[in-house]
Chain A
Amino acid sequence: MTAILDDTPSPPLPAVRGRRPAGVLVAGTLLALVVIAAVCAPLLAPYAPDTIDLSSSLVGTGHDHLLGTDSSGQDLLSRALFGARSSLMAPLALLAVAGVLGVTLGVLAAWRGGWVDVLVSRLTDVMYAFPGLLFTVLIIAVFGAGMTTSVLALGLAFTPTVAKYTRSLALSEARKPYVDAYRVQGMGGLRICAAHVVPNLARAILGYLVVLFGEALMSLATLSYLGFGAQPPSSDWGLMVQEGQAAIVQGAMLPALVPGTAIALVVVCFNVVGVWAADRLGRQ
């Protein structure tokens, strides 16, 4: 053991500000490419994502199929490109749901205090008693599988986190002098919140949602993988992994690895960019 704990000055914490802008640049570029690919999927994809060709089932990489095919002979590159659309849009929708609900509850709890605050925090406690995806799984067990259910259920599951964050921000914002000034002018609480408090917090909350994006994408892909989210014939990445898994034992790994790599890549990039963006947006 060396004496490094000893005499070195504390370094800036890793994964925080100013960390390897080069890494952020690379990750950002990759994300931009993925988004462009998703938007331009019809132009870029060599095949329609649902072209079934059983004669070319489980073909490896080659001229006809750059990333090979799955067991139904569907071109994996084309599927992955089209799959990017739902795989990126769904987390966005999820965060929109969590954002609207979470900010509303958080501001309400901070603004009204008292029993409203207690109620929100009790609800949060109960939801936090369900580890991981179990709260979402319960909702899906009741309402049935499907992308819409998954997005709404996960949106609900992410709500307490957003609410908690918003509440802490709103608490300090509500103590600022301008709030009293508006009150004195006779402005209602709802209007002060909607017109001033929330817009002032928007940047920080947005930054927080960017950080949550990676987790949102991971959670949705996991649900799709379990068969709770996207349903066939969707090309959602999580579902593609599930469909491709059976071929692994036959030695064909691409059907599962192509979408799996896509998920991991996008999440990594989002985590790198997210931390940086949250830091930039958090500093006003």
Chain B
Amino acid sequence: MALRLALRVGRRLTGVLATLLAASFVIFAAVYAAPGDPAVFLAGGRDKLTPERLAQVRAEYHLDEPLFVQYGRWLWDCVHLDLGRSFKYSDQVADLVAARFPTTLQLVLYATVLFVVLGVGAGVLAAVKRSTWVDSAVVGATTLAASVPSFVAAIALVSFFGVRLGWFPVTGSGTGFLGTVRHLTLPALSLALGALALVSRVTRQAMVDAAASDHVEAARASGVPERDIVRRHVLRNALGPIVTMCGLVMAGMLAGTVVVETAFGLSGIGSLLVGAINTHDFPVAQAVLLLMVTGYIVVTTLVDAVHPLLDPRVEGAHR
């Protein structure tokens, strides 16, 4: 049994690693798809390009060696947090990313709290008040929210709550806990808004499915209070799909920060990526993309791993 479990985990990890390798290779080899000399491209274009600089880039990226050797070296360096040097900031890319990552992480976590509380709450409400106006209102409002791109939500929130009412600062990431929360509220809200429809819909459906189980009817036939039925039977048993969906949405939000950080002028890795692309600072773009893709794959894998813990039947089957 233990062997089978080990095999399962092993197979799963192998698959994840293979995907990670393939994705990182795509990120690395994209340089060669660029028109012209990859060395020129990596050096940030022909502007102010000196022969010394070009030679330096060639050496740094081992551009004279075969592609796979280059990839291997690059990957080896990445694993050791040596992500190259930015041309724009003439800084270690790793330092740049490390300095900006906390803001992005805070933003994603704050947005996660928002969409979990609001999305799951709305879904529970819709399921409990199924087929009433509340249900329709939740579905309608969240569908509407999902149709608004995050940058439009961002400017609408800034216009209203930032400028018109003056409740929240319009840009920057703030200092201290309260300052951070105040500064990140509108960005986190813009990021979370689009996820509400998906999360509330999954919650609602999972609860409706769970509510159709025989044991729920049995509990109801035994006069168990409705509150307990909703909480301990329906919501508890619906937790699997809900947690999975929340985890996937959270993982995807890493990419969403690209837009929201730009809209709010936050200095995180999302805005770093946009800036890097606009200034042809490819090593930085490469590093941020690699980080985001890795984060996404790791989080989705973790979500997968958590699922058995929520359902003892699956856990039991593993033993």
A and B touch in the complex (CB under 8 A): yes
Residue numbers of A with Cβ under 8 A of B are 1-6, 8, 10-11, 14-15, 122, 125-126, 129-134, 137-143, 145, 214, 218, 221-222, 225-228, 238, 241, 244-245, 248-249, 251, 253, 256-257, 260-261, 263-264, 267-268, 271
The answer to whether A264 touches B277 (Cβ under 8 A) is no
Q: Closest CB-CB distance, A259 to chain B, in whole Å? A: 9
Identify the stretch in B19-27, B61-69, B74-82, B172-180 within 8 Å (CB) of chain A at 4 or more residues.
B19-27
Q: 10 pairs across A/B with beta carbons < 8 Å?
A: A6-B220, A133-B259, A134-B292, A140-B277, A143-B35, A221-B152, A225-B149, A245-B263, A257-B156, A263-B152
Would A138 and B30 be within 8 Å (CB), given that A264-B148, A268-B144 are in contact? yes
Q: In this complex, what residue of A is CB-closest to B151?
A: A225
Q: Closest CB-CB distance, B171 to chain A, in whole Å? A: 8
Q: In this complex, what residue of A is CB-closest to B257?
A: A132
Q: Closest CB-CB distance, B24 to chain A, in whole Å? A: 9
The answer to whether B143 touches A131 (Cβ under 8 A) is no
Q: Closest CB-CB distance, B314 to chain A, in whole Å? A: 24
Would A137 and B277 be within 8 Å (CB), given that A248-B155, A268-B144 are in contact? yes
Kindly identify which residue among B135, B262, B289 contacts A14, using a CB–CB cutoff of 8 Å: B135
Q: In this complex, what residue of A is CB-closest to B233?
A: A5
Contacts of B130 in A (CB 8 A): 4-5, 8, 11
The answer to whether A141 touches B282 (Cβ under 8 A) is yes
Q: In this complex, what residue of B is CB-closest to A257?
A: B159
Contacts of B254 in A (CB 8 A): 131
Kindly identify which residue among B159, B164, B256, B258 contacts A137, using a CB–CB cutoff of 8 Å: B258
Q: How far is the CA of A122 from the CA of B227 in the complex (A)?
A: 46
Q: Closest CB-CB distance, A83 to chain B, in whole Å? A: 14
Kindly identify which residue among B31, B148, B170, B292 contacts A249, using a CB–CB cutoff of 8 Å: B170
B56 located at the interface, meaning its Cβ lies under 8 Å from any Cβ of chain A in the complex: no
Given contacts A11-B131, A248-B162, 13 further A-B contacts (CB under 8 A): A2-B128, A2-B129, A5-B128, A14-B135, A15-B139, A125-B19, A131-B255, A142-B41, A218-B147, A221-B152, A248-B158, A264-B147, A267-B147
Q: In this complex, what residue of B is CB-closest to A9?
A: B131
Which B residues, 254 to 280, have Cβ-Cβ distances below 8 Å to chain A?
Answer: 254-256, 258-259, 262-263, 273-274, 276-278
B122 located at the interface, meaning its Cβ lies under 8 Å from any Cβ of chain A in the complex: no
Q: In this complex, what residue of B is CB-closest to A242?
A: B151
The answer to whether B22 touches A1 (Cβ under 8 A) is no
Q: How far is the CA of A257 from the CA of B151 in the complex (A)?
A: 11
Would A4 and B128 be within 8 Å (CB), given that A132-B252, A245-B155 are in contact? yes
Q: How far is the CA of A258 from the CA of B205 in the complex (A)?
A: 36
The answer to whether A134 touches B255 (Cβ under 8 A) is yes
Would A4 and B129 be within 8 Å (CB), given that A129-B296, A137-B258, A227-B278 are in contact? yes
Kindly identify which residue among A1, A137, A145, A271 contacts B289, using a CB–CB cutoff of 8 Å: A137
The answer to whether B258 touches A133 (Cβ under 8 A) is yes
Which B residues, 29 to 50, have Cβ-Cβ distances below 8 Å to chain A?
Answer: 30-31, 33-35, 41
List of 8 A-B pairs having minimum Cβ-Cβ separation, nearest first? A132-B255, A260-B152, A131-B255, A129-B23, A268-B147, A5-B211, A253-B159, A14-B139
Kindly identify which residue among A131, A132, A227, A256 contacts B159, using a CB–CB cutoff of 8 Å: A256
Kindly identify which residue among B34, B162, B256 contacts A143, using a CB–CB cutoff of 8 Å: B34
B251 located at the interface, meaning its Cβ lies under 8 Å from any Cβ of chain A in the complex: yes
Contacts of A248 in B (CB 8 A): 155, 158-159, 162-163, 170
Q: Closest CB-CB distance, B281 to chain A, in whole Å? A: 9
Contacts of A132 in B (CB 8 A): 252, 255-256, 258
Contacts of B139 in A (CB 8 A): 14-15
Q: In this complex, what residue of A is CB-closest to B127?
A: A5
The answer to whether A131 touches B292 (Cβ under 8 A) is yes
The answer to whether A126 touches B19 (Cβ under 8 A) is yes
Kindly identify which residue among B128, B136, B289 contacts A138, using a CB–CB cutoff of 8 Å: B289
The answer to whether A271 touches B143 (Cβ under 8 A) is yes
The answer to whether A226 touches B22 (Cβ under 8 A) is no
Kindly identify which residue among B132, B151, B211 contacts A241, using a CB–CB cutoff of 8 Å: B151
Q: In this complex, what residue of A is CB-closest to B284?
A: A141
Contacts of B252 in A (CB 8 A): 131-132
Q: Closest CB-CB distance, B27 to chain A, in whole Å? A: 6
Q: How far is the CA of A244 from the CA of B151 in the complex (A)?
A: 12
Contacts of B158 in A (CB 8 A): 248
The answer to whether B155 touches A260 (Cβ under 8 A) is yes
B293 located at the interface, meaning its Cβ lies under 8 Å from any Cβ of chain A in the complex: yes
B285 located at the interface, meaning its Cβ lies under 8 Å from any Cβ of chain A in the complex: yes
Contacts of B292 in A (CB 8 A): 131, 134
Q: How far is the CA of A8 from the CA of B127 in the complex (A)?
A: 11
Kindly identify which residue among B162, B277, B293 contacts A129, using a CB–CB cutoff of 8 Å: B293
Contacts of B162 in A (CB 8 A): 248
Q: How far is the CA of A93 from the CA of B14 in the complex (A)?
A: 38
Which B residues, 207 to 230, have Cβ-Cβ distances below 8 Å to chain A?
Answer: 207-208, 211, 216, 220, 226-227, 229-230
